Amino acid sequence: MKIETASFQSDPLFGTAQSTLLTPYGLDVGDLQQVFGRIMTHQVDYADLYFQYTRAEGWSLEEGQVKSGSFSIDQGVGVRAVSGEKTAFAYSDDISLPALAAAAETTRAIARQGAEKSVPAVYGAAKPQLYLPHDPIASLKDAEKVALLERLERHARALDPRVTQVMASLAGEYEVVLIARNDGLLAADVRPLVRVSLQVIVEDGGRREQGSAGGGGRFDYAYFSDEVLQDYAQKAVHQALINLDARPAPAGTMTVVLGSGWPGILLHEAIGHGLEGDFNRKGSSAFSGKIGQRVAAAGVTVVDDGTIARRRGSLNVDDEGNPTQCTVLIENGILKGYMQDTLNARLMGMAVTGNARRESFAHIPMPRMTNTYMLNGDKDPAEIIKSVKHGLYAANFGGGQVDITSGKFVFSAAEAYMIEDGKITYPVKGATLIGNGPDVLKRVSMIGNDMALDPGVGTCGKDGQSVPVGVGQPTLRIDGLTVGGTA
């Protein structure tokens, strides 16, 4: 294959990628033709080069003292060739023409003998930037980052004398990627990412409870104003104090009302992974072969949207260089499609959806979620609560586990209350929600009009790879869900 030498367009993302990932190593776009030339002497269905530069830092504060500070720089290139269902992949942290050539030789083994092709470079079409190419690490001095965490701790302690311990952390990342494909496409992105996390412990009468809060997204540290930090502090302390007064949760089958926002993590885990293309191509998902069939209650519409400005799960382009999009997965209860990368879309005869994601240049991309959420219904949240005779209101979630093949899940509620005669009465602790994702979708009986996205804290794991994601939903009523309790 031959990529015609061409200059980068005026798009500043291409300029940043070139100056960060090619020029310092004596490479230009034309040099990449040698790499593809080695791969394409054998017939492959798809090949790409993924260059990445990442600078990351983390700070943590505990009891007013800096507990840890970290800084890292990682860079390299991944070379991939796909033939049929087979993938050959090699990577190197040495960005040089010899290293690229060696990686290309490694990937040739799976391919059939073929002829060299010539394809001109095709630059990704200009598109609206979902986030500015800021370097968050450079947006504050180190002393100012520590001071930000100190302010957050002061806000938390000032809210209640029962706050005995405060742990706060801040993380920032600046990532530059350049993707070159065998069809000639070149795409670049500059991806900032920040997050602040807060955990508080309260104590009263020998009883200790904890609460947590935080947020972030694709911007720099200027987002974390005093107003934002105070909001995190109030939420964390509120959750901890609620749990201080909580009674043991009852167990049994009951109506459960899920709050808006972060409780969408249940949706993400219990059904989201099952809607990723690779699981469906292999027939291992509960949703395999069900496009066009009813898989959820009427009114349930679920989308994956990688195009929401400044959101943690958003990307200008995915890790194969395709633009992200809003993909309707379930519409009014009917399964409409799956999230796809290039390999699985080709093998399934479906369209690419811009959901190829990878943890780094050292990992193979796969279909992954971006921001996955359920759309609004028409019910007022107060009306949903009022409709419940006896049940549980799960306002916030902690951790959980899910079996992707079966859809079975177990989730713990971080903040929950009993509902009695249409009213929220007392807080409970130790509540776990147990069920099956596809089954739960059919048990949704009321959908609120208060859809909210999470504050920007989600990280999703799959096959050993972690990527930032977003989740969301409106308030939901689910009938007949199993609740594990301690009462």
pLDDT tens digits, one per residue of 301-346 = 999 999 999 999 999 999 999 999 999 999 999 999 999 999 999 9
Q: How many Å apart are CA 211 and CA 244, to the nearest integer?
A: 10
Q: What is the pLDDT of residue 225?
A: 98
Q: What pTM does this model have?
A: 0.94
Structure tokens at 282: 């292999």
Q: What is the pLDDT of residue 267?
A: 86
Q: How many Å apart are CA 182 and CA 158, to the nearest integer?
A: 58
Q: What is the pLDDT of residue 79?
A: 95
Cα angle vertex 434, ends 431, 440, to 5°?
120
Structure tokens at 321: 């260089």
Which regions of the chain are under pLDDT 50? 1-7, 114-119
Q: What is the pLDDT of residue 116?
A: 42
Q: What is the pLDDT of residue 406?
A: 81
Q: What is the pLDDT of residue 33?
A: 80
Q: What is the pLDDT of residue 111?
A: 60
